[in-house]
Amino acid sequence: MQGLVSRAYGQLPCARYLLCSVADPAAARTWLGQVAPGVSTAADRDEGCALLVAFTYAGLAALGLDDESLATLPRPLHEGMVTAHRSRILGDTGPSDPSGWRWGGPANPAIHLLVVIYAPDEAELERELGERRKAFAGALAEVGPPIDGLLNGGTEHFGFADGLSQPVIKGWPRRTASVRPAAPPPPTKWEEVNPGEILLGYPDNYEKPAEGPTVAGRGDARSLLPVAPWAPGRRHLGHNGSFLVFRQLAQDVPAFRRFTGAASQASAVRGTPLSAEKVGAKMIGRWPSGAALAVSPDADPGEAGTNDFGYHDDDQAGFKCPAGAHVRRSNPRDSSSESADKALVSSKNHRVLRRGRPYGLPLVDPPTKPGEEAGADRGLLFLCLNSDFERQFEFVQHTWLDNGFFAGLCGEVDPVVGPQPAGGGILTVPDAPVRRRFTGVERFVTTVGGAYFFLPGIRALRYLASLDG
Stretch that binds another protein, among 55-63, 295-303, 365-373, 404-412 (CB under 8 A): 404-412
Residue 87 touching another protein (CB under 8 A): no
The residues in 345-364 that bind another protein, with binding defined as CB under 8 A, are 345-346, 349-350
Cβ closer to another protein: 359 or 395? 395
Cβ closer to another protein: 341 or 365? 341
Q: Closest separation between CB of residue 464 and another protein, Å?
A: 23
Residue 192 touching another protein (CB under 8 A): no
Candidates 141, 391, 424, 442; binder of another protein (CB under 8 A) is 391
Q: Closest separation between CB of residue 157 and another protein, Å?
A: 30
The answer to whether the beta carbons of residues 449 and 101 sit under 8 Å apart is yes
Residue 189 touching another protein (CB under 8 A): no
Stretch that binds another protein, among 3-11, 84-92, 363-371, 445-453 (CB under 8 A): 84-92
Residues 90-129 as x/- pattern, contact with another protein by CB under 8 A:
----------------------------------------
Residue 337 touching another protein (CB under 8 A): yes
Candidates 256, 395, 453, 463; binder of another protein (CB under 8 A) is 395
CA distance 230 to 239: 13
- Residue 316: helix, strand or coil by DSSP? coil
Cβ closer to another protein: 176 or 346? 346
Candidates 126, 314, 372, 390; binder of another protein (CB under 8 A) is 390
Residues 143-162 as x/- pattern, contact with another protein by CB under 8 A:
--------------------
Residue 372 touching another protein (CB under 8 A): no
The residues in 267-306 that bind another protein, with binding defined as CB under 8 A, are 269-271
Residue 423 touching another protein (CB under 8 A): no
Candidates 313, 339, 364, 377; binder of another protein (CB under 8 A) is 339
Residues 438-457 as x/- pattern, contact with another protein by CB under 8 A:
-x------------------
Q: How far is CA 241 from CA 55, 67, 144, 271, in A?
A: 11, 20, 24, 55
Residues of this chain that bind another protein (CB under 8 A)? 75, 78-79, 83-85, 88-89, 206, 208, 211, 266, 269-271, 317, 337-339, 342, 345-346, 349-350, 388, 390-391, 394-395, 398-399, 403-405, 408, 410-411, 430, 432-437, 439
